[in-house]
Amino acid sequence: MNNPFQEGTNSFKRNSKILDRNKTALLIIDIQEKILSVMQQPETVINNTIKLIRGFKILGTPIYFTEQYPRGLGPTNSEIAGELAGLTPIQKMSFSCCGAENLFSELKEKNIQQVVVAGIETHVCVQQTVLDLLENNFQVNLIADAVSSRHLIDHETAIKRMQSHNAEITTTESALFEILGVSGTDEFKAISRIIK
């Protein structure tokens, strides 16, 4: 099936904020065992993060994940870690992922311009990372159904703040279909199975 969005086949432009698989990466922030259990709706975060990982694998899009002070907070949740087999966690002490080894420089080297973000806590590590990414001219798509905090007020306030700084607020299913772009392909069928 031809991609109707290929250059030369249409006379209109797609919105520049729509995710493009050639310049997008998934960043999963600190979904670690010891802290996850006290988050709001931890199972929703786990399930949607797994959907994102599986979808990004199907699409062949880069995936990164971080761990905040793993000696104290433990490793990444085992269900999520199982999906990330073969990838190495980027360990950090700073709340923002800007302090996570060479993550930001690697994103730039790979010409990643759009970063899809999931993780915890919304108002601490996620928010500081998103604000730093935005300050460094990345587009950020925050996955609202794959982030969480211990307290709802912190979660909701952080999402509003990030949105006010031009973060794109979206959901797991929306992001996956946005990167996919078209139906009727094997990728579409595989991703449709994931999000059911």
Catalytic residue among 92, 97, 132, 145: 92
**Of the candidates 147, 139, 145, which has an alpha carbon nearest to the alpha carbon of residue 179?**
139
Q: Is 97 a catalytic residue?
A: no
Tell me the CA distances in angstroms from 87 to 99, 154, 185, one per residue in order.
19, 30, 27
Q: How far is CA 70 from the centre of its chain?
A: 20
- The C-alpha angle with vertex 120 and arms to 92 and 100, in degrees rounded to 5, equals 20
Which entry of 30, 97, 132, 145 is annotated as an active-site residue? 30
Query: Which 3 state secondary structure label does DSSP give 28?
Result: strand
- Name the token pair of 111: 């010409």
Q: Which one from 51, 97, 125, 132 is the annotated catalytic residue?
A: 125
The yes-or-no answer on residue 98 being catalytic is no
Active-site residues, by number, are 30, 92, 125
